[in-house]
Structure 1
């Protein structure tokens, strides 16, 4: 049974260019709305989030995607959360989300520099207290970081080998290993195997 589940994960269709463009446009729209709602200019937000004004403009217009650390800085300054940035209109009563029908997204979708995609287990929506994704990390892929925010992280390695770095300490994990730590601790990870790695990852959404 476990093998069958792993095969299903491995056969996930990569996010198409069209899907990537739609996700980038949605994120850009939400980001612009949050900025304008708070009466902030592009320059003000860029300065506070330690990024260039030109890159921020491209992100708002769906022509670029932020790295995960940059996205965390933006939502902190804007006093919102990452879940809201990707929130879609979903049926609050939905209980089951079928294999093959779950969104597969990348925060770096247009550049594809990190080799990481997130398969949503449950939708980003106000009705859920947790965020849950499967992180798929290609060979030599790594998360840009480290990042830190409010909350708690729990993970289970479904496939492959990863190096998890939490608060400066490295942990080599293989299929079947699990972890838990406070999100306030700086953390990032990378694939140290020769094949794609997958992590079932649950965390409390970062709110500021």
Structure 2
């Protein structure tokens, strides 16, 4: 689930074409594959996800990268978590690794917003209920439309300083500080400084789509 899920259907303005082209191509391939596995037409998926067929067509062609809100609607419609769109079943160079290993070269990567905030998944492909990732935050960047649902989130500030908001509380965290909270509370991270920040982000989710 995500805040705002019942808001009006997504419009083309929700598509963020400034994000990395590589992400757009990978998401497009995965959406098309998952839609095919479920034997859905573009129009049927659009209706289930409450987005326009035009946006889905753009996404599948790799010509546009969806916002977090649009991605979450597609997650709900296809019954997968958001990383399923960025994690291909076969990635080169991982043949020597057992399924509980994630090689550095095979990390799925998501670029969010015009400031270049980057999320890199560290968990292996099969992990559902527990995931962890690196969040790299350039100066002035902030998380957008954080996913809300049953479970917990935690983290450790590896470098720099970030502003963490959980519900009504906003706290400045510096290198070496850590946190943990229930993920059904509105929350967000922001880097108000002039230096890059890096956070190890952990999700223990009861809803595997988070």
The TM-score range, normalised by the shorter chain, is 0.7 to 0.9
RMSD: 2.8
Taking a change above 3 Å as real, the CA distance of residues 127 and 174 of structure 1, as seen in their structure-2 partners, is closer
Cα-to-partner distance string for 1:93-123 (whole Å, 9 max, x where unaligned): 565745xx46472344xxx524211233344
1:3 aligned residue:
none
Q: What is the number of equivalent residue pairs in this alignment?
A: 183
User: The residue matched to 2:24 in structure 1 has which SS?
Assistant: helix
2:42 aligned residue:
42
1:87 aligned residue:
87
Give the 5 Å matches for 1:84-163. Answer: 84-88=84-88, 89=90, 90=94, 91-92=97-98, 95=101, 97=103, 101=105, 103=107, 105-108=109-112, 113-123=114-124, 125-126=125-126, 130-163=130-163
2:203 aligned residue:
203
1:188 aligned residue:
188
Taking a change above 3 Å as real, the CA distance of residues 40 and 97 of structure 1, as seen in their structure-2 partners, is closer
User: The residue matched to 1:171 in structure 2 has which SS?
Assistant: strand
Taking a change above 3 Å as real, the CA distance of residues 175 and 75 of structure 1, as seen in their structure-2 partners, is same
Give 1:161 shift.
Answer: 2.0
Contact 1:49/1:77 (CA < 8 Å) preserved in 2? yes
The CA distance in 2 between the partners of 1:46 and 1:58, in whole Å, is 12
Contact 1:66/1:107 (CA < 8 Å) preserved in 2? no
Cα-to-partner distance string for 1:45-86 (whole Å, 9 max, x where unaligned): 334434343222221111222222332222122111223222
The CA distance in 2 between the partners of 1:96 and 1:50, in whole Å, is 34
User: The residue matched to 2:140 in structure 1 has which SS?
Assistant: coil
2:3 aligned residue:
none
- Could you tell which deviates more after superposition, 197-206 or 40-49? 40-49
Q: Normalised by the size of structure 1, how large is the TM-score?
A: 0.72
2:10 aligned residue:
none
The CA distance in 2 between the partners of 1:45 and 1:104, in whole Å, is 24
Give unmatched runs, 5+ long, in structure 2. Answer: 1-19
The CA distance in 1 between the partners of 2:41 and 2:190, in whole Å, is 35
